[in-house]
Amino acid sequence: MGIIKDVILHDQEAKKQEPSKYDEALAKYNTDLDDNAVREAVRKIIAEKVPQNDTEEVKKFLFGSIELTTLKTTDSETSVLAFTERVNDFDNEYPELPHVATICVYPCFAKTVAESLEVDGVEIACVSGSFPSSQARIEVKVAEASLAVADGATEIDIVMPVGKFLSGDYEGVCDEISEQKAACGEDVAMKVILETGAIKTASNIKKASILAMYAGADYIKTSTGKLEPAATPEAAYVMCQAIKEYYEQTGIQIGFKPAGGINTVMDAITYYTIVKEVLGEKWLTNKWLRLGTSRLANMLLSELKGEQIKFF
């Protein structure tokens, strides 16, 4: 046992010391961030900018950016079918509102959604990559993504291997992300969940964002929603900064998805405002800004209609 432990520790140390192509990429960015400065920047945005976005127009936009999510242990084909049929019904019942951006489900339900969804333009997102822990062999993660795509998923949400990231194995992190992007293919957008509540510091969040984008992420996403804290305005601010700098360096536009713990309409308006202030108007479409949430749709609908509604 002692020898095995020594070998593992030796390999981990060796990996940390080998310079990888990703160290070169990281070196182009300032990843030495001050958490207090981030908190202060966010406090200012919330105090000065959020109130002006508390409008009907923004709320309608946010509705159309929702990734309507059901990720429950109790989900079944029957419940997922009913969930999808609510999205189908929505177009008829509220023609004045945009439809949600995606339906987000576990990969075993991709087929159920694909066979029953009738609304054009609603994407089918499947969590994958051994969601939410990311603790599985890469072969399993690749197979999970491939099977979901074969069943009709049009977007795949994977989880960054957080343990590897915290051990400093950036090459291992990026290899896993790249392999899963290859399984998705060019036409299926892949979101990489950083689980910001676990990696905690602004510097770690910036590094993970950069690594994920260089490794093939089409979107970066804050959280699984299965661990506390989930999305926070501070994590969103740092991730948007990273997306902006990556765009300046490479010309590649990457989407942003705050997800998990979006519990009020004001939370959603706060994320919208951070994206607007840091990334600008170019990101304010339901392609580039998504909100991963299981509760927001009913709350936004109630506010927009002026009465308590539980549609989904």
Ligand X SMILES: O=C[C@H](O)COP(=O)(O)O
The residues that touch ligand X, with contacts defined as CB under 6 A, are 69, 71, 104, 224-225, 230, 259-262, 292-295
Nearest approach, Cβ of 296 to ligand X (angstroms)?
7
Nearest approach, Cβ of 107 to ligand X (angstroms)?
14
Each as own residue / partner, the long-range contacts of residues 117-122 (CB below 8 Å, 24 or more positions apart, any chain) are 117/84, 117/87, 117/88, 118/88, 119/87, 119/88, 119/90, 119/91, 122/87
Nearest approach, Cβ of 200 to ligand X (angstroms)?
19
By beta-carbon proximity to ligand X, the closer residue of 71 and 192 is 71
Distance CA 208, CA 173 (A): 9
Q: Do residues 183 and 216 touch, judged by C-beta distance below 8 A?
A: no
By beta-carbon proximity to ligand X, the closer residue of 69 and 84 is 69
Q: Do residues 253 and 282 touch, judged by C-beta distance below 8 A?
A: yes
E strands, the chain, are 66-69, 102-105, 123-127, 155-159, 189-193, 219-221, 255-257, 291-293
Nearest approach, Cβ of 87 to ligand X (angstroms)?
16
Residue 65 CA: distances (Å) to CA of 11, 97, 147, 182: 43, 12, 26, 26
| Listed residue (266, 275, 257, 272) closest to 217, CA to CA | 257
Any idea which residues carry the catalytic annotation? 157, 221, 257
By beta-carbon proximity to ligand X, the closer residue of 41 and 296 is 296
- Residue 177 φ/ψ, nearest 5 degrees: -65, -45
Apex CA 58: angle with CA 56 and CA 63, to 5°?
95
| Listed residue (184, 205, 193, 190) closest to 258, CA to CA | 193
By beta-carbon proximity to ligand X, the closer residue of 133 and 167 is 133
Tokens standing for residue 55: 């409008």
Burial 124-137 (b: 16+ CB within 10 A, else e): bbbbbbbbbebeee
CB atoms within 10 A of CB 182: 14
Nearest residue to ligand X, by Cβ distance, number only? 225
Distance CA 235, CA 247 (A): 18
By beta-carbon proximity to ligand X, the closer residue of 225 and 255 is 225
Nearest approach, Cβ of 223 to ligand X (angstroms)?
7
- Residue 49 φ/ψ, nearest 5 degrees: -110, -30
Nearest approach, Cβ of 159 to ligand X (angstroms)?
11
By beta-carbon proximity to ligand X, the closer residue of 195 and 277 is 195
